[in-house]
């Protein structure tokens, strides 16, 4: 049986990733549709890849390599509660691209971004695997060089370092169209409160959407914060 070009690309990318990582493929269902996502089996094993010089420069940890409850919760929200047909969307800190894939499945045109170039190959794989089209590119929210404006911005589990809070607020402001909204999913970390204060100080109104992630005996409280510029939310 001959493979399509997409099938060949998927197979080749899987072989390349398997040669570099110990992989895990997980199945999820959103809005009654089955999805498959490739991630890294043990993200802590990637710590050895980070040189001391790189860590001093960026303090970059391989958080991208796992699928976190906040990403699953955000993806559920996207699948069940948002109408995305014809919308242009960006995800920052996309990791392996779960929310972006679900948004593309819902009819959005999606740019999935992450600071880690390693993450981008997983995003591309997961888009191919789930038969959706996604653009993937590197983005540093401390210095946003993307000039495009988006209808919606998604982010899951990005409020984990105090130094990143204000840059994320600035990135949201730069990336959203007038009237646009950002949805930030977070497992109720204390830093989220500081982020919301900074967002308010910089002209955003915030609406918290309270959710609960459950898997077996695991239960995680997750908030999805909807940010809109204050004058546009009236």
Task: Tell me what the pLDDT averaged over the chain comes to.
Answer: 91
Q: How much is the average pLDDT of 169-183? A: 97
Rounded to 10 degrees, the C-alpha dihedral 91/93/97/98 comes to -80
Q: Place 208 in a pLDDT band, splitting at 50, 70 and 90.
A: very high
The more confidently predicted of residues 43 and 221 is 221
DSSP 83: -
Domain range for 219: 5-233
Q: Place 57 in a pLDDT band, splitting at 50, 70 and 90.
A: low
Query: How much is the pLDDT for 56?
Result: 44
Query: How much is the pLDDT for 216?
Result: 85
pLDDT score of 29 more than 50: yes
pLDDT score of 234 more than 60: no
The total domain count for the chain is 1
pLDDT score of 1 more than 80: no
pLDDT score of 198 more than 80: yes
**Given strand 88-91, what is the order of strands in its sheet?**
135-138, 109-114, 88-91, 150-156, 176-186, 218-229, 204-215
- Measure the CA–CA gap between 47 and 4, rounded to whole angstroms: 36
Supply the CATH number for residue 223's domain.
3.40.50.150
Q: Place 7 in a pLDDT band, splitting at 50, 70 and 90.
A: confident
């Amino acid at each position: 049986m001959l493979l399509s070009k997409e099938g060949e690309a998927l197979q080749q990318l899987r072989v390349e990733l398997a040669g570099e990582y110990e992989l895990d493929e997980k199945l999820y269902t959103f809005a009654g549709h089955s999805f498959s996502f490739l991630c890294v089996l043990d993200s802590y094993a990637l710590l050895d890849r980070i040189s001391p010089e790189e860590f001093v420069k960026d303090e970059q940890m391989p958080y991208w390599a796992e699928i976190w409850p906040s990403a699953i919760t955000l993806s559920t929200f996207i699948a069940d509660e948002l109408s995305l047909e014809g919308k242009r969307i960006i995800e920052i800190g996309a990791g392996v691209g779960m929310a972006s894939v679900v948004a593309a499945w819902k009819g959005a045109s999606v740019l999935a971004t992450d600071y880690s170039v390693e993450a981008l190959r997983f995003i591309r794989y997961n888009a191919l695997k789930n038969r959706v089209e996604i653009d993937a590119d590197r983005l540093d929210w401390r210095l946003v060089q993307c000039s495009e404006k988006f209808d919606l911005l998604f982010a899951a589990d990005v409020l984990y370092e105090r130094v990143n809070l204000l840059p994320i607020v600035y990135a949201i402001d730069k990336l959203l169209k007038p009237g646009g909204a950002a949805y930030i999913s977070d497992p109720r970390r204390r830093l989220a409160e500081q982020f919301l204060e900074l967002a308010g100080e910089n002209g955003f109104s915030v609406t918290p959407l309270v959710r609960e992630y459950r898997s077996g005996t695991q239960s995680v409280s997750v908030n999805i914060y909807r940010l809109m510029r204050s004058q546009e939310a009236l």
